[in-house]
């Protein structure tokens, strides 16, 4: 098993998700779910996946709302023994702090990790500047928002392989870095603009790598991990 690998279950089909968990649970450290499964099945899907062998669930719903609403959402997710969840850092310090304070009502063993999202991997520089009106380079914008997350005592941040090095240098040893958009060198980038390789992301300071289609569609998981240059640990 490689504990650094998080498998993304990008499907709304519960049976498919359960089968994938059973097939990959001995190879990866966690499973990520998002709107596709939770909107179709409700939060009870977390229990079903845990029963199938998903010991750690990464709930990627990117909460972004007023502080009280986000605190309630975090509480409900924590009650399901979620291991990690995402929030949009642009929700601001009051929202982030409310989420952090909510997790502190749970025991250390049951407390979920909160990681902040700054710029989605589907966005590029042109979109950030021209369409969203943010007058910064992507890397600079991500560093600034990520440092805000750290000031609010979040557990970490999400970033593409392109920004891992800069964020790790800015954050130092504080916080974990979760990196999606990991592809084999010959892989399709699909709808993500900023992708990268597993070895480089880890070398630059990423703690966890999110991998989806490359794993879920693989007929030989160990071979695929080898192609990604990820040793089974």
Percentage of the chain lying above the pLDDT 90 cut: 77
Per-residue confidence at 183, pLDDT binned at 50, 70, 90? low
The answer to whether residue 22 is catalytic is: no
Query: What three-state secondary structure class fits 21?
Result: helix
Taking residues 133-150, report their average pLDDT. Answer: 96
CA separation for the pair 162, 205 (Å, rounded): 11
- pLDDT in the model for residue 188: 52
Supply the CATH classification number for the domain 2-227.
3.20.20.70
**Domain residue extents for the chain:** 2-227
Query: What three-state secondary structure class fits 43?
Result: coil
- Predicted confidence (pLDDT) per residue in 159-170, tens digit: 988 899 999 999
The active-site residue out of 4, 32, 62, 165 is 62
Kindly give the residue spans of alpha helices, DSSP state H, lying in 104-192. Answer: 125-126, 138-151, 164-171
Of residues 221 and 29, more confidently modeled:
29
- pLDDT in the model for residue 196: 75
Please give the sequence-ordered ranges of beta strands (E in DSSP) within 126-206, or none if there are none: 156-158, 176-179
Taking residues 105-125, report their average pLDDT. Answer: 92
Of residues 219 and 83, more confidently modeled:
83
Per-residue confidence at 224, pLDDT binned at 50, 70, 90? confident
Is residue 24 scored above 50 in pLDDT?
Answer: yes
- pLDDT in the model for residue 231: 53
Taking residues 213-219, report their average pLDDT. Answer: 89
- pLDDT in the model for residue 46: 97
Per-residue confidence at 232, pLDDT binned at 50, 70, 90? very low
CA separation for the pair 212, 11 (Å, rounded): 10
CA separation for the pair 73, 230 (Å, rounded): 34
Cβ atoms of 50 and 81 within 8 Å: the answer is: yes
Place of tokens 């010991």: 55
Per-residue confidence at 122, pLDDT binned at 50, 70, 90? confident
- pLDDT in the model for residue 227: 79
């Amino acid at each position: 098993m490689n504990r650094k690998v998080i498998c993304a279950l990008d499907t709304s089909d519960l049976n498919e998700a359960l089968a994938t968990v059973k097939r990959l649970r001995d190879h990866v450290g966690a499973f990520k779910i998002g709107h596709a499964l939770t909107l179709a099945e409700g939060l009870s899907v977390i229990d079903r996946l845990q029963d199938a062998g998903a010991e750690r669930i990464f709930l990627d719903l990117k909460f972004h709302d007023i502080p009280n609403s986000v605190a309630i959402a975090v509480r409900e997710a924590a009650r399901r023994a979620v291991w990690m969840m995402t929030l949009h850092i642009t929700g601001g310090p009051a929202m982030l702090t409310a989420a952090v304070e909510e997790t502190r009502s749970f025991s250390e063993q049951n407390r979920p990790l909160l990681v902040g999202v700054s710029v989605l991997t589907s966005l590029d520089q042109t979109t950030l500047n021209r369409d969203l009106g943010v007058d910064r380079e992507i890397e600079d914008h991500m560093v600034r928002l990520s440092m805000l997350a750290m000031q609010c005592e979040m557990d970490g941040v999400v970033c593409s392989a392109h920004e891992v090095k800069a964020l790790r240098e800015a954050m130092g040893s504080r916080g974990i870095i979760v990196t999606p958009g990991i592809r084999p060198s010959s892989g399709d980038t699909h709808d993500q603009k900023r992708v990268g390789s597993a070895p480089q992301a880890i070398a630059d300071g990423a703690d966890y790598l999110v991998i989806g289609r490359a794993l879920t569609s693989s007929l030989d998981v160990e071979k695929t991990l080898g192609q990604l240059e990820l040793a089974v640990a």
